[in-house]
Chain A
Amino acid sequence: TQLLEQSPQFLSIQEGENLTVYCNSSSVFSSLQWYRQEPGEGPVLLVTVVTGGEVKKLKRLTFQFGDARKDSSLHITAAQPGDTGLYLCAGRPFSGGYNKLIFGAGTRLAVHP
């Protein structure tokens, strides 16, 4: 069974702080995605990383895919209250031939003004 473990589960910080969320697995994935989910809504895709060692930046968010394609991190610089939400990582296994996703349990982030 392929599992993705996210840490920390919960994070409560003040506006302006930096933070890093981790997503780890013992399995190799062909790609990894990060989603953000608001209460009462479905997850919304933030980024897809495909190549081992790849780094992608999206404004104040930096995403990294591990060299071995087993882990990923999300770093947020100068967090703002609008960043509050549930952050989910999702890996795509090599098998299947379609875009089946394995999700982690998520990191619930609260940014206080």
Chain B
Amino acid sequence: GAGVSQSPRYKVAKRGQDVALRCDPISGHVSLFWYQQALGQGPEFLTYFQNEAQLDKSGLPSDRFFAERPEGSVSTLKIQRTQQEDSAVYLCASSLTSGDYNEQFFGPGTRLTVL
């Protein structure tokens, strides 16, 4: 079966450009997470969806970051007016339910480089 997929795998943006990163979770998975992984660091939580509802966006670094999951499946992370400090790998993960100890399955990530 297909795992979590993300596109594009690599994105280069000029400072000030808007970008959109896509995540296709495993079919039927209720929970979807976005993480940001800076070079040499572990992933940091950005936001969480349960179906189409965004239940936690406490990790979004600024109001330039926006995420949506309108139909409870595919999710898009949008970054407006990109800055150099936004350069990182953006990981998406999904899990079957929202219950405790549910395994999160990670996608390969999108590496964003802002010049």
Chain B positions within 8 Å of A, measured between CB atoms, are 4, 31, 33, 35, 40-45, 48, 50, 55-56, 91, 93, 95, 98-104, 106-109
Contacts and interface: CB of A to CB of B under 8 A. Distances in A.
Contacts of B103: 45, 48
Interface string A81-113: 000000010101000111111111110000000
B100 A30 contact: yes
A106 B100 contact: no
Q: Which of A30, A88, A90, A103 has the most CB of B within 10 A?
A: A103
Nearest to A42: B106
B79 to A, nearest CB: 19
Nearest to B40: A105
Contact of A31 (B99, B100, B108): B100
Contacts, number: 66
Interface size class of A (residues with CB under 8 A): 20 to 34
B97 to A, nearest CB: 9
A4 B42 CA distance: 10
Contacts of A101: 33, 43, 45, 104
A88 B31 CA distance: 21
Main secondary structure of the interface of A (DSSP, over half): loop
A50 B42 contact: no
A92 to B, nearest CB: 8
Contact of B106 (A30, A44, A98, A104): A44
B43 A103 contact: yes
User: Would you list the 10 A-B pairs with minimal beta carbon distance, nearest first?
Assistant: A42-B106, A103-B42, A98-B98, A103-B43, A105-B42, A106-B42, A88-B42, A43-B106, A105-B41, A104-B42
Contact of B31 (A4, A6, A40, A98): A98
Contacts of A42: 4, 91, 93, 106-109
Contacts of B91: 42-43
Nearest to B45: A100
A101 B93 CA distance: 11
Contacts of A4: 42
